């Protein structure tokens, strides 16, 4: 009898324990579901994009599988990179230096050969001129032949800046980069060989670790087609003759830090001050037959001490914050998210020092209706590009590249 009652008591105890356990598990399950819902770290970027509700007039127009991310990254100090003048002169100038001039940007070296004049600027932030200049951490080299610089004609038929096309390029198309192929061989030299030779020159000059951000093979057929569009848009008489000798490779490089790019995009969304006049690094190189080259670089940084190593906001979390932002904004025009990328941004801290911070950079294109009056009134749609930048450590939006008031 006693054993029976004990058995009944044990069964009741087990039942109560089971019910209690189920209740706890259900509660924990609900709590975990809520955590997963609120923490998109648990989902990859593609899954998040497939499931999220987008604001009115907002669309996503990039391949999420191409977005690279890491779990953590380091924050560094940084300062403008100083180039060794003797090394740069010996590497780039073919002729002997015949003149030097001090400018606000830095020192200009001029060299002469039989049929050309070379111009080389080494930027120093105005130090040699005795003033403070925002132009620093870079080099500019070009060759002048008769009345024009060597690659002036090529720069009429392709934009010499990285990133999306401006309004004029979209409207007339004569310098649209997207019409050229990338990584395609030209007759004078295979693409890979050209890239290797250019990167060897840049390494000799003292540039830090870089990568190709964009590259274009300037073939004769596309250049002449663009030039026809240019003449049509400009109304000028034909002044350039074109041949296979004009073919060239155009490279847009950017600095990298721990395999993460230092952005080459003008990303601040507020008025740019003197201290952050160039809140991006850029390196544009055009390379042609017989080693002819044109080089323009700005704002390269020497990486200093590591400040800290931090866990990073996932791409899905960062995109969720961006979508929340645009959910609170009435978008009167169609707006597409054309790209997102984990990059470093340089924040000015005063005394010529920078802090290099990992950030999610979103490129957005807002469609605008424009009227042209060339012949008949015509309505066209052009994209206005802007950037939304989120600190990948804190999750806060960054709108300017300076902490100095």
Judgement on whether residues 118 and 166 belong to the same structural domain of the protein: yes
Judgement on whether residues 115 and 205 belong to the same structural domain of the protein: yes
| Run of H or E including 378 | strand 378-391
Instruction: Choose the final residue of a domain: 237, 268, 303.
Output: 303
Judgement on whether residues 116 and 255 belong to the same structural domain of the protein: yes
Contact present, 98 and 112 (Cβ < 8 Å): yes
Q: How many domains does the chain have?
A: 2
pLDDT of residue 371: 64
**Is residue 206 situated within a structural domain?**
yes
- Nearest alpha-carbon partner for 253 in 191, 189, 298, 190: 298
**Is residue 97 situated within a structural domain?**
yes
**Ramachandran quadrant class, 352 (left: phi over 0; alpha: psi -120 to 50; beta: rest):** left
**Is residue 62 situated within a structural domain?**
yes
pLDDT of residue 386: 95
Measure the CA dihedral 28/33/36/38, to 10°: -100
Judgement on whether residues 312 and 261 belong to the same structural domain of the protein: no
Q: Would you tell me how many other CB atoms lie within 10 Å of the CB of residue 97?
A: 13
Instruction: Choose the final residue of a domain: 273, 303, 333.
Output: 303
Rounded Cα distance, 320 and 69, in Å: 16
**Is residue 6 situated within a structural domain?**
no
Domain extent, residue 375, equals 40-74+306-398
Rounded Cα distance, 80 and 345, in Å: 14
Judgement on whether residues 281 and 359 belong to the same structural domain of the protein: no
Q: Would you tell me how many other CB atoms lie within 10 Å of the CB of residue 375?
A: 6
Contact present, 109 and 140 (Cβ < 8 Å): no
Judgement on whether residues 366 and 335 belong to the same structural domain of the protein: yes
CA distances from 49 to 41, 45, 324, 338 (A): 13, 6, 13, 14
Three-state SS across 190-223?
CHHHHHHHHHHHHHHHCCCCEEEEEEEEECHHHH
**Is residue 245 situated within a structural domain?**
yes
**Is residue 1 situated within a structural domain?**
no
Judgement on whether residues 338 and 273 belong to the same structural domain of the protein: no
Three-state SS across 66-108?
HCCCCCEEEEEEEEECCCCHHHHHHHHCCCEEEEEEECCCEEE
Judgement on whether residues 90 and 238 belong to the same structural domain of the protein: yes
Instruction: Choose the final residue of a domain: 274, 303, 332.
Output: 303
CA distances from 219 to 34, 196, 244, 250 (A): 56, 19, 8, 11
Q: Which residue has the tokens 């290099």?
A: 356
Judgement on whether residues 144 and 215 belong to the same structural domain of the protein: yes
**Is residue 360 situated within a structural domain?**
yes
Rounded Cα distance, 362 and 319, in Å: 9
- Nearest alpha-carbon partner for 251 in 304, 202, 300, 313: 202
Judgement on whether residues 84 and 137 belong to the same structural domain of the protein: yes
Residue 136 has phi, psi (to 5 degrees) of -155, 170
**Is residue 16 situated within a structural domain?**
no
pLDDT of residue 374: 56
Q: Would you tell me how many other CB atoms lie within 10 Å of the CB of residue 34?
A: 10
pLDDT of residue 146: 80
Specify the DSSP class assigned to residue 181.
B
Q: Calculate helix-pair angle for 191-205, 85-92, nearest 10 degrees.
A: 150
pLDDT of residue 370: 73
pLDDT of residue 183: 98
Judgement on whether residues 90 and 218 belong to the same structural domain of the protein: yes
Judgement on whether residues 143 and 228 belong to the same structural domain of the protein: yes
Kindly give the confidence (pLDDT) of every residue in the chain, 405 residues in length, as a single tens digit, with 9 standing for 90 and above: 333 333 333 444 444 444 343 443 343 444 433 333 334 443 489 999 999 999 999 999 999 999 999 999 999 999 999 999 999 999 999 999 999 999 988 999 999 988 899 999 999 988 888 777 778 999 999 999 887 889 999 999 999 999 999 999 999 999 999 999 999 999 999 999 999 999 999 999 999 999 999 999 999 999 999 999 999 998 777 788 999 999 999 999 999 999 999 999 989 877 555 455 456 899 999 999 999 999 999 999 999 999 999 999 999 999 999 999 999 999 999 999 999 999 999 999 888 899 999 999 999 999 988 766 555 566 788 999 999 999 999 999 999 888 876
Q: Would you tell me how many other CB atoms lie within 10 Å of the CB of residue 284?
A: 21
Q: Which residue has the tokens 């002729």?
A: 95
The helix/strand count (H/E) of the chain reads as 7, 17
Contact present, 212 and 180 (Cβ < 8 Å): no
């Amino acid at each position: 009898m006693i054993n029976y009652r004990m058995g009944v008591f044990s069964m009741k105890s087990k039942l109560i324990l089971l019910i209690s356990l189920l209740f706890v598990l259900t509660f924990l399950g609900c709590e975990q579901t809520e955590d997963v819902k609120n923490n998109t770290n648990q989902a990859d970027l593609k899954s998040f994009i497939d499931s999220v509700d987008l604001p009115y007039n907002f669309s996503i127009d990039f391949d999420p599988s191409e977005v690279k991310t890491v779990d953590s990254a380091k924050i560094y100090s940084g300062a403008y990179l100083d180039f060794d003048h003797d090394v740069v002169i010996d590497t780039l100038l073919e002729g002997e230096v015949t003149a030097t001039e001090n400018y606000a940007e830095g020192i200009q070296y001029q060299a002469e050969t039989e049929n050309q004049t070379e111009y080389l600027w080494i930027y120093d932030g105005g130090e040699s001129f005795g003033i403070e200049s925002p132009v620093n951490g870079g080099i500019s080299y070009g060759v002048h032949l008769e009345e024009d610089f060597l690659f002036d004609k090529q720069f009429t038929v392709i934009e010499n800046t990285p990133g999306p096309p401006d309004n004029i390029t979209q409207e007339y198309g004569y310098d649209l980069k997207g019409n050229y192929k990338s990584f395609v061989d030209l007759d004078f030299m295979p693409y890979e060989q050209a890239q290797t030779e250019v990167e060897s020159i840049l390494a000799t000059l003292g540039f830090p670790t870089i990568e190709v951000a964009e590259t274009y093979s300037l073939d004769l057929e596309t250049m002449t087609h663009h030039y026809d569009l240019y003449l049509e848009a400009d109304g000028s008489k034909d002044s350039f003759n074109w041949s296979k000798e004009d073919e060239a490779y155009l490279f847009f490089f950017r600095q990298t830090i721990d395999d993460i790019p230092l952005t080459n995009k003008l990303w601040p969304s507020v008025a740019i001050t003197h201290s952050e006049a160039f809140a991006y690094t850029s390196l544009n190189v055009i390379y042609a037959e017989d080693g002819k080259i044109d080089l323009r670089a700005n704002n390269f940084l020497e990486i200093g001490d590591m400040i800290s190593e931090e866990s990073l906001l996932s791409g899905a979390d960062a995109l969720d914050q961006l979508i929340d932002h645009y959910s609170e904004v009435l978008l009167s025009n169609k707006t597409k998210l054309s790209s997102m990328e984990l990059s470093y941004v340089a924040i000015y801290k005063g005394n010529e020092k920078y802090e290099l911070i990992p950030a999610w950079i979103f490129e957005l294109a807002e469609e605008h209706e424009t009227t042209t009056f060339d012949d008949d009134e015509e309505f066209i749609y052009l994209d206005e590009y802007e950037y939304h930048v989120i600190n990948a450590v804190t999750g806060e939006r960054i709108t300017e590249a300076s902490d100095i008031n």
